[in-house]
Amino acid sequence: MLTLPRKRMLKRRSDFQKVYRSGHSFANRYFVLYVFRLPKGEQRLSGRVAFAAGKKLGCAVVRNRVKRLLREAYRQHQHELRDGMALLLVGRRGAVKASGTEVERSFMRVARKAGIAREDG
């Protein structure tokens, strides 16, 4: 069974900001994916991921659902992603009414576009 342990989550504000400011972004209608490729000495953030949803999406229930969809899409495909990077997924308005399957397919499409999907998959 695939899991997403808490120790793999970005928690510090400074880590969020580093990925957000220095990472490259790739977007679709459901979310924006920020990819921060880590320098050799920055292994503390390697394999870390964070999920966010702004207040423009709706109330807390809606925002939590969007983050849950993003977390599940990442969890299902984490083994298909390259190492040595930190990711930030920020939900967009399209994810509010999207199904889990749509978000999951979309995640892999964006991951391939970003060049973070392993070729052997």
pLDDT of residue 67 exceeding 60, the answer is yes
Assess if residue 2 is contained within a domain.
no
Domain that holds residue 84: 13-39+49-114
Count of domains for the chain: 1
CATH of the domain at 84: 3.30.230.10
Q: In b/e form, how buried is each residue of 71-94, taking b as 16+ CB within 10 angstroms?
A: bebbbebeeebeeebbbbbbbbeb
Assess if residue 99 is contained within a domain.
yes
pLDDT of residue 46 exceeding 90, the answer is no
Assess if residue 18 is contained within a domain.
yes
Average the pLDDT over 39-64 and give the result: 86
Average the pLDDT over 11-38 and give the result: 91
Rg (CA), the chain: 13
Alpha carbon distance 116, 39 (integer Å): 15
Q: Of 100, 83, 98, which Cα lies nearest the Cα of 46?
A: 83
Assess if residue 4 is contained within a domain.
no
Average the pLDDT over 109-117 and give the result: 93
Classify 47 in phi/psi space as left (phi over 0), alpha (psi -120 to 50) or beta.
Answer: left
pTM above 0.95, yes or no: no
Quick one: DSSP state of residue 79? G
